[in-house]
A and B are shown apart, each in its own frame.
Chain A
Amino acid sequence: MVTKEITKEDVIETLKSVIDPEIGLNIVDLGLVYDVQISEEMILIIMTLTTPGCPMHGSIVDWVQRIVSMSFPNKLIDVQLVWEPRWTPDKMSEEARRQLGI
């Protein structure tokens, strides 16, 4: 049986199901996901939050880890939260901007 290779787009599509419960938008459209790196054994997600000291600090990392693990059970998942470069509104997608009325 041929196993389909996991692409960056597959992971990003999965990450779209992680919603920030306060803003009501997914973390990809909010521009919080900086990079996704896929190796043979592991998926590495590098992401940020809108502000350091956000109360959802630890929880969003857990959710990302859980949801990506469920979609790609054969891979180890590593989520790295970074504050540099700082998140800015221009990282948001057009869809997110439209929903926030910008």
Chain B
Amino acid sequence: MIQPVSVAGIYSPPFRIVSKYFIASIFSFVILNFMLLFNYHSITGHHFQPKILSINHIATLGFITMIIFGAMFQLVPVVLEVKLFSSFLAEIQFWIYSTGVILLVYKFWNFDSSLSFLFPALLLSLVMIIFSINIILSMIRVKSWNITGTYIASAIFWLLITALAGYFLSKNLDKPFIRINHLQYLNLHAITAYIGWVGMIIMGVSFKLIPMFTLSHGYKMTLAKISLVIINAGLLGANWIMHYPETGFYTKIFGSLIFIGFVLYLIQIFIIFKKRIRKKLDIGLKFSAIAFVLMGIVSVLNYSFLFFDYESIANLTIVYGILVTLGTFGMLIVGQMYKIVPFLVWYHKYGSKVGLEKVPMLKDMFNEKLAEGQLVLMLIGIILSSTGLLTKFYLLVLIGFLFLFLSSLIFAFNMFTIYRN
């Protein structure tokens, strides 16, 4: 029997609020690539050093988490068919968050002793709490739950753990009050941030967006469910054993769980792509497909770190960081932004004109050829800079970062074109 669906109550925040997050993220992406280009000689050695931490935080907070916040405010209401709890909180969160990110990146860059780590860390922790409250209070009203919702709920949990670990690290770096191994806590902070927060969000949302954009049908989501459970189990275990000495055996067990979880996720994504009806991949999906291949490479690399002394290979952790941040997450985010931003702008500008006048198609909103160029530049930039770092051939690193910077400018130009449409 046909049951009508009510569309009442589905409500995303105003376009201007989501746009702020998107524009700030695009801006951060360009700044990030600019910082890499003009400091290519500093991006070497151990990863726990000021310049690298500064660049890493403009990437994870300014670019990646900024876009995730904006996208969540837009997607949670439509994907879970529920009204966002508060647009006002989404708005004020943006200003507190932007201030916190700028101060933290500045502090890491200069290690300015007049500015405490605590203030930006406090602002960012406050934002994580505001965001979590806003999404949780929206999600408790969800009537029909789906797997994307469960992934998002897990991500929120790990976001709070990431913020807690980050705040604890900042407090101890500021005025040491407890003898801890900072590197150990940095690892905990990074694992929960990259896998728990960013990874879970990206996985959950991809199960909704990729089938929608590829018109994929007729597959089971069993692997997605198993992946969710075992990655969470692995993360919980990793967080738990981090507090004990001599944990090599358990680290391998929990690391294996996370690795298997990622493999299952990628198989699920492969199945979705295989079952797609739209055979031709547009630019957004090409970026995404390459990001998934890179995710496979990164997962294997990450898992191998459990079995050998990765510090012995020069710059390997830096290369890993580039492959994760720009390769996997960067490519996936850029790809999805080529799908989501045109739609949001199109809907905002032309939604009310449908039927009254001729309106453009989404693919007409930006120059796809230019975006193809961006994809090539970004991929070559990642390959060259990674190869240069591993072989300590720094001219190659410079050329690679130049390619990446140019690709970020093309991206910014294309996004600007969409907004100006």
Contact = CB atoms under 8 A, between A and B. Distances in A.
B4 A89 contact: no
A23 B3 CA distance: 26
A83 B361 CA distance: 25
Contacts of A61: 7
Contacts of A58: 7, 10
B361 A24 contact: yes
B355 A81 contact: no
B106 interface: no
Interface in A56-102: 56-59, 61-63, 66-67, 70, 80-85, 88-89, 100-102
B4 A22 contact: no
Interface in B143-164: 144, 146, 148
Interface residues of A, number: 36
Question: Chain B contact residues (Cβ within 8 angstroms of A): what range?
Answer: 35 or more
Contacts of A59: 347, 351, 354
Given A82-B5, A88-B217, A88-B218, A67 B343 contact: no
Contact of A24 (B80, B217, B356, B363): B363
Which of A19, A53, A54, A63 has most B Cβ within 10 Å? A53
A64 to B, nearest CB: 9
Contacts of A62: 351
B343 A57 contact: no
B2 A46 contact: yes
B97 interface: no
Contacts of B80: 53
A7 interface: no
Interface of A: 17-19, 21-24, 34, 46, 50-59, 61-63, 66-67, 70, 80-85, 88-89, 100-102
Given A59-B347, A66-B356, A84-B3, 6 more contacts: A24-B361, A53-B80, A54-B78, A55-B343, A82-B5, A100-B278
